[in-house]
């Protein structure tokens, strides 16, 4: 299955007026900043379970998330814009996840991928050590359902986050809009 961006041709925000020496760009600086920010999301991967395998396949040649602007998966939070939590979070990992989130530069976004990251999954009821969702540790912007979700679902979530950033929504507006979609 081929996944294509929802936004056709994704034009640069603004108008170029021809001039003898080149061209003059007329636009709002906020539109340019949101456009650039949305097209250069660098994910920090936090994969702990089977959802991490699906997340890795999203970066492979078949799905190739770099063609949508999620170019380089970062191993350090200081260079990442969005953290993708894929898998179970246990109580011992919660402070580490919080520390990684705190080390990310603003603006930062969070995607919870799979049943374990969103609600504790099937493991929450059988053990005392599983956290009931990433939103008990850090604020989540986009939730992905499934156990494990397909790579297309992750691409859809990333494109949805991209669209919300392009619209100029603040973090609180993104979170409220995500809750209203559920």
Q: What is the CA radius of gyration of the chain?
A: 18
Q: Which domains does the chain have, with CATH numbers?
A: 44-181 (3.40.50.12280)
Query: What is the value of pTM for the model shown?
Result: 0.79
pLDDT tens digits for range 62-115 = 878 877 777 777 778 888 888 989 888 888 889 999 999 999 888 888 999 988
pLDDT tens digits for range 47-59 = 888 878 888 888 7
pLDDT tens digits for range 132-167 = 888 889 998 888 888 888 888 888 888 888 888 888
């Amino acid at each position: 299955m081929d996944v294509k961006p929802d936004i056709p041709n994704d034009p640069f925000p603004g108008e170029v007026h021809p001039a003898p020496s080149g061209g003059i760009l007329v636009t709002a600086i906020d539109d340019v900043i949101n456009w650039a920010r949305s097209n250069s999301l660098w994910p920090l991967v936090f994969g702990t379970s089977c959802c991490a395998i699906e997340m890795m396949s999203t970066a492979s040649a078949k799905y190739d998330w770099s063609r949508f602007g999620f170019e380089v998966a970062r191993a350090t939070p200081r260079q990442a814009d969005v953290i993708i939590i894929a898998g179970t979070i246990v109580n011992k990992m919660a402070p580490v996840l919080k520390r990684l989130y705190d080390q990310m530069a603003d603006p930062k976004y969070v995607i919870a991928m799979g049943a374990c990251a969103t609600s504790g999954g099937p493991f929450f009821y059988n053990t005392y050590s599983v956290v009931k969702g990433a939103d008990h540790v850090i604020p989540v912007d986009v939730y992905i359902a499934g156990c494990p979700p397909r790579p297309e679902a992750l691409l859809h979530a990333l494109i949805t986050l991209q669209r919300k950033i392009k619209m100029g929504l603040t973090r609180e507006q993104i979170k409220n809009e995500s809750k209203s979609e559920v």
